[in-house]
Amino acid sequence: MSPYPMDAKPTYSRLRAGFLENAKKHKAQVRHFKHPLKGMDGEELYTDIAVWAKPETKKWLVVISGTHGVEGYYGSMCQTQYMDSLAALAQDGRVGVLMVHLINPWGTSWKRRVNEDNIDLNRNYLDFAQPLPQNRYYEALHPLFVKEAATGAARQKSNEQWAEKSKEIGHTALMNQLGAGQYLHQDGLYFGGFKPSWSNATLRAIMGEFLADCTDAICLDLHTGAGAYGHPMLMAIAEREYPGIRDAQRIYGAWLYTVLTGASQTTDTGISAAATGYTSQAMVDLMTGKRFCQLVIECGTYDGEKVGHDALLNDHFLHLCGNLQGKEFEQTKDKLLEFFFPSDQDWRELVWVRTRQIFDRALADLFER
């Protein structure tokens, strides 16, 4: 059974309406952060938050969806559905819940991983006053992704070069080089930005307002697209070990994935360990001095090598060339949504059940402290 009534082809507006409706039903405090641009259907865009807490609440569960816009369809589904079990908690007030709904609303509306500036938000949480990371591997790959390589024989050649490279060093190693991020080419892949994005500033403002004086918190950032089909991996992603990782292992068990990131790091989880600028690290830094644990739930869908890369590349070229309507555009968007949010009801039920368990355990632990 579907965990929550979802359309076969959901839209940003449907997600938003469902989230706000259920938040109202369950008496959450809601706030709306208006995005400067419009969505794919000309709709206004917002990051919304729903809060269940009392003024004296010091312990918090935070759930963020849509860091990678199109992955927010899964995140929103779980956030909205989970509200149904929060009624008693709101009365109690010892533990608060903050749901940050679609932190990259432009990306969710346009069914893209990136934001309005072609930024991968999980490369954007850096100190831009400092020298930015260099990625010499990306420099060699960039010509495969520029406008001139978008169509026809040039695209064919670009595909062949990619396949050759993948054969040479292996797909995982190649994706690690590519996914490490880059800060020079706004028209490229895994671009980290020239400055903090709207979503980055908005998340910091939300955290500053609600969690500045908290003592304990667990934050879950919801993603899809890496790992085995229907299997939500739970991961701690950080530049270095911090005490919250031990808390997470105690709560969830030794199987919890810990991905330490850095220029020379690798992982076979399907995410990039060589990247910097993760939301996760920014949250850990923001919460310094508190008992805090930052986790990512990453739900596997289809084969990234066979399906995901091609769909993402098609989407990249369509936006790069400004081809934002017509059959090819629609088909590409359908494929991307299917890759990041499979329409298979069994997939949706599987990821919801496991995500709910992860939420439940986090809340139970916060109550017991």
**Order of strands, sheet of 291-300, starting from the edge strand that comes earlier in the sequence:** 29-38, 44-52, 95-101, 59-65, 216-229, 291-300, 232-238, 257-260
> Which residue among 35, 68, 101, 316 contacts Zn ion (CB under 5 A)?
68
Residue of 105, 103, 98, 180 whose CA lies nearest to 136: 180
CB of 266 to Zn ion, least distance (A): 18
CB of 225 to Zn ion, least distance (A): 6
Q: Which is nearer to Zn ion, 188 or 300 (CB)?
A: 300
Distance, in Å, from the CA atom of 142 to the CA atom of 165, rounded to the nearest integer, reads 13
Stretch 342-361: interaction string toward Zn ion, x if CB under 5 A: --------------------
Query: How would you label 238-269 residue by residue, b for 16+ Cβ within 10 Å and e otherwise?
Result: beeebebbebbeebbeeebbebebeeeeebeb
Contact 278, 261 (CB under 8 A): yes
Q: Which is nearer to Zn ion, 64 or 141 (CB)?
A: 64
CB of 188 to Zn ion, least distance (A): 18
CB of 107 to Zn ion, least distance (A): 10
**223 sits near Zn ion (criterion: CB under 5 A):** yes
Window 251 to 290, contacts with Zn ion (CB under 5 A)? none
Q: Which residue number is nearest to Zn ion in terms of Cβ?
A: 223
Query: Cα angle vertex 158, ends 154, 160, to 5°?
Result: 115
CB of 71 to Zn ion, least distance (A): 5
**Contacting range for Zn ion; rule: CB under 5 A; set: 82-90, 142-150, 223-231, 313-321:** 223-231
Position of tokens 């309507």? 325
CB of 334 to Zn ion, least distance (A): 19
CB of 82 to Zn ion, least distance (A): 19
**165 sits near Zn ion (criterion: CB under 5 A):** no
CB of 222 to Zn ion, least distance (A): 8
Q: Is 170 left (phi over 0), alpha (psi -120 to 50) or beta?
A: left
**Contacting range for Zn ion; rule: CB under 5 A; set: 43-51, 61-69, 86-94, 214-222:** 61-69
Q: How many residues bind Zn ion (CB under 5 A)?
A: 3
Contact 337, 136 (CB under 8 A): no
Distance, in Å, from the CA atom of 142 to the CA atom of 136, rounded to the nearest integer, reads 10
**Contacting range for Zn ion; rule: CB under 5 A; set: 99-107, 139-147, 221-229, 241-249:** 221-229
Going by C-beta distance under 8 Å and a sequence separation of 6 or more, which residues neighbour residue 270? 225, 226, 227, 298, 300, 304
Residue 214: Cβ-neighbour burial (10 angstroms; 0-12, 13-18, 19+)? buried
**111 sits near Zn ion (criterion: CB under 5 A):** no
Contact 84, 361 (CB under 8 A): no
Binding site for Zn ion (CB under 5 A): 68, 71, 223
